[in-house]
Amino acid sequence: MSESAAENTLAEQIAAQLRRDILRGKLPPDTAIKERDNAAELGVSRTPMREAIRILAQEGLVVLRPSRSPIVARPTVKEVHDQVVVLLALEKLSAQIACERATEVDLSRLAELNEQIAEAYDHVDALDLFEMDMAFHRLIAEAAHNEALAETHHAYLARLWRARFLSATMRRNRERVVSHHGAIMNALRARDPEAVDAALDQHLSNLAEDISAAIEAENAEAERAGG
Amino acid sequence: MSESAAENTLAEQIAAQLRRDILRGKLPPDTAIKERDNAAELGVSRTPMREAIRILAQEGLVVLRPSRSPIVARPTVKEVHDQVVVLLALEKLSAQIACERATEVDLSRLAELNEQIAEAYDHVDALDLFEMDMAFHRLIAEAAHNEALAETHHAYLARLWRARFLSATMRRNRERVVSHHGAIMNALRARDPEAVDAALDQHLSNLAEDISAAIEAENAEAERAGG
DNA sequence: CAACAATTTTTGGTATACCAAATCAGAAAT
DNA sequence: ATTTCTGATTTGGTATACCAAAAATTGTTG
C-alpha cells in the first residue's frame, strides 16, 4: 500500500490520470496519445507528459513506435495469456515463500480484507470491488517479504488490470471469489505449501481462459467497428 | 544478443553508457548522478540525461530520491538474494514451458552457444565470457516463446548482472559452467521437465549464496573505505 | 486517371531557460 | 562552543523553443 500515496510529480499525476482513463476504457486500444495535444488538453507542457507516457509504456499500457504517436496498447490474446501465466507463477511462488515467512499480521490483514470483500460484494461497484480483489492478491505477494517479487507481481497485476476487469465483469460470481479467497487464506494459515498451491490453482486456473475470451470479444468488437 | 542493436535515441545511448560504467564498477555504488553535471560532462542537455536516469532507475541500477541527486544503487544482500530467487523461478518456469514449446532451432542455438562458451572459456576476458553466459540463459527464457516471461527474465538478469559478475570472477570454474550448461541443454533436448528442473537447480542453487558473499564483500569494503 | 515527386505538416527528440523546494554554510546569539 | 536562523546555492521539476525526420498531401506529369 505504499505507492498509491504520493504522486509527487506532475508526470506521475498525469500518468495516473491516463492510466485510469485507459483501464476504464475511456481511452480504448489504438487511441493515439500525442505529446503535444494531450499536454495542451491537460494544460501542462510536453515534458511531464512525455515522462508520463514513458511510465505507461514501461507498464505495457501504451506502446511507443519510432516516429509515431504512442498508442494505447491492444494486447493480443496470446500476449495476455502469456502474462497471466507469469502472474500465476509469481503468485504461486509468493504463496510458497509466504508459507514460511508470513507474519501473523500478514495473515490477519488477509482475513480482514477477505471479510470486507465478502461484505461489500453486493453493495459496491465492479471497479471498487476489483481494487479490493487486487489488494487481496497483493497481500499474498507481500506476505513473502521479498520486495522484488512483490514489485514484479504488482506490475503484472497492474498490467493485467483491464483484462482481468473485463473478464470479471463478464462472469461475476460472489461465491467463487469469496470461497476461493478463503481457501487460499486457510492454506496459508496452515502454512501448507501444497494446499496453497492447490488453492491458487483452483482460483486462477480458469483465469487465463476467461481473460482470453474477454480480450477476444473486445478485439472482435474493434474489428467490426474500426476495420 | 538482440538488444544491443538499436540504441536509437540519445537517452538510450546515455543509458547504455551509464549502465556499462555502473556494471563495470567505474561508477561504484553511492555515486551521485547529477543531471546537470553528467549531462555537461557528456556534452548533452539535461533532457536526455534525465530520461536515461529514469531508464536506469527502472532497471534498479540507480535509485531516485525526492529532491536529491539519484545515486548508483547499493543493493543489500537481502535485496540481491530476493532477486536471485525470482530470477531462478522465472528461469525454471521458462525451462518447463520450453520443454513443450522449444523449437529445434532454439535447441541448436543453445548447443552452438554452449560450444562457443566451452571453446572461448580460457581465451576470453571475464566480461565477454559473462555476456555469453547471460546469452545462454536468455536463450532458455526465449525458448519458452512467452514474450512477457522472456522480458521479465531479461530484466532480472540485467539487474543482477553486476552481482553475478562479481560472484563469477570470484570463483571462475570452467568445468562447472560448461558441464552444467550441457546438462540443462540435454534435459531440454529430452523435453524432460523434471530433469530440466534438476539441472537448473544444480546450476543455480549456489548462485544465491555466491552472490550474497560477493555483495557482502563489496559492501564491507565500502564500509571500510567510506566510513 | 494513375503514379510519382516535391512540399508542407506533423511528430518526437533535444536544448535551454525558469522556478520552487530543499540543503548547506555562515553568522549571530546564547 | 553550540545552536539556530537566515540567505545563498544547488537540485530536480517544468515550460518553452528549436530541430530533424517521417508522413501526408498536393500538384504535376505520364
Confidence of residue A171 (pLDDT cuts 50, 70, 90): low
Please tell me the predicted confidence (pLDDT) of residue B2. 38
Cα angle at A224 between A223 and A226, to 5 degrees?
Answer: 65
Cβ–Cβ under 8 Å, residues B64 and B52: no
> Does the beta-carbon distance from A86 to B8 stay under 8 Å?
no
Tell me the chain B residues in contact with residue A88 when contact means C-beta distances shorter than 8 Å: none
Q: What value does the mean pLDDT take over residues A141-146?
A: 97
User: Where a domain ends, among B18, B43, B72?
Assistant: B72
In a domain? residue B52: yes
What CATH number should be reported for the domain holding residue B51?
1.10.10.10
Please tell me the predicted confidence (pLDDT) of residue B1. 39
Please tell me the predicted confidence (pLDDT) of residue A223. 67
Q: Do A41 and A120 belong to one domain?
A: no
Provide the residue range defining the domain that includes B201: 77-222
> Does the beta-carbon distance from A83 to B148 stay under 8 Å?
yes
> What's the total number of domains in chain B?
2
Please tell me the predicted confidence (pLDDT) of residue B77. 87
Tell me the chain A residues in contact with residue B89 when contact means C-beta distances shorter than 8 Å: 89-90, 93
For residue A6, pLDDT beyond 80: no
Residue pairs between chains A and B whose CB atoms are closer than 8 Å: 52
Q: Do A43 and A93 belong to one domain?
A: no
CA atoms within 13 A on the CB side of B160: 31
Q: Do B61 and B94 belong to one domain?
A: no
Confidence of residue A152 (pLDDT cuts 50, 70, 90): very high
Instruction: Name B68's bridge partners.
Output: B65
pLDDT above 90 covers a percentage of chain A that reads: 46
Of the listed ranges A37-51, A63-77, A79-93, the one predicted with least confidence: A63-77
Q: How far, in Å, CA of A40 to CA of A10, rounded?
A: 14
In a domain? residue A3: no
What CATH number should be reported for the domain holding residue A162?
1.20.120.530
Q: Do A84 and A163 belong to one domain?
A: yes
Torsion of CA B217, B219, B222, B224, to 10 degrees: -70
Confidence of residue A224 (pLDDT cuts 50, 70, 90): low
Q: Do A199 and A160 belong to one domain?
A: yes
Confidence of residue A227 (pLDDT cuts 50, 70, 90): very low
Q: Do B118 and B199 belong to one domain?
A: yes
| Residue pLDDT, tens place only, B36-52 | 999 998 999 999 999 99
Q: Which residue has the cell 460470481?
A: A173
Q: Do B57 and B117 belong to one domain?
A: no
**C2 C1' – A216 CA distance, angstroms?**
40
For residue A113, pLDDT beyond 80: yes
**C14 C1' – B125 CA distance, angstroms?**
37
In a domain? residue B30: yes
Q: How far is A19 from chain B (nearest CA, A)?
A: 18
Please tell me the predicted confidence (pLDDT) of residue A46. 93
Q: Do B215 and B152 belong to one domain?
A: yes
Q: For residue B178, what is the DSSP state? A: H
| Residue pLDDT, tens place only, A11-60 | 999 999 999 888 888 898 889 999 999 999 899 999 999 999 999 998 88
| Cβ atoms within 10 Å of B174's Cβ, excluding its own | 12
State the 10-residue block means of pLDDT for chain B, 227 residues long.
56 91 87 91 92 89 85 89 93 96 96 92 82 91 96 90 74 78 94 95 79 80 63
Please tell me the predicted confidence (pLDDT) of residue B98. 96
Indicate the residue of A54, A85, A89 with minimum beta-carbon distance to B89. Answer: A89
In a domain? residue B145: yes
Q: Which residue of B has its CA nearest to A83?
A: B148
Q: Do B143 and B217 belong to one domain?
A: yes
- Those residues whose C-beta lies under 8 Å from the C-beta of residue A69, and which sit 6 or more positions away, are A32, A33, A34, A35
Q: How far is A75 from chain B (nearest CA, A)?
A: 11
Please tell me the predicted confidence (pLDDT) of residue B227. 44
* DSSP, residue by residue, chain A: --SSS---SHHHHHHHHHHHHHHTTSS-TT-B--HHHHHHHHT--HHHHHHHHHHHHHHTSEEEETTEEEEE----HHHHHHHHHHHHHHHHHHHHHHHHH--HHHHHHHHHHHHHHHHHTTTS-HHHHHHHHHHHHHHHHHTT--HHHHHHHHHHHHHTHHHHHHHHHHT--HHHHHHHHHHHHHHHHTT-HHHHHHHHHHHHTTHHHHHHHHHHHHHHHHHHHH-
Give the torsion sign (CA, A153, A156, A161, A164): negative
Please tell me the predicted confidence (pLDDT) of residue A114. 92
In a domain? residue A205: yes
Look at A103 and B174; give whichever has higher pLDDT. A103
In a domain? residue A227: no
Q: Which amino acid is at B139?
A: L
User: Closest Cα partner for A59 from A204, A166, A157?
Assistant: A157
What are the CA-CA distances from residue B73 to residues A50, A96, B14, B57 (Å)? 25, 29, 17, 9
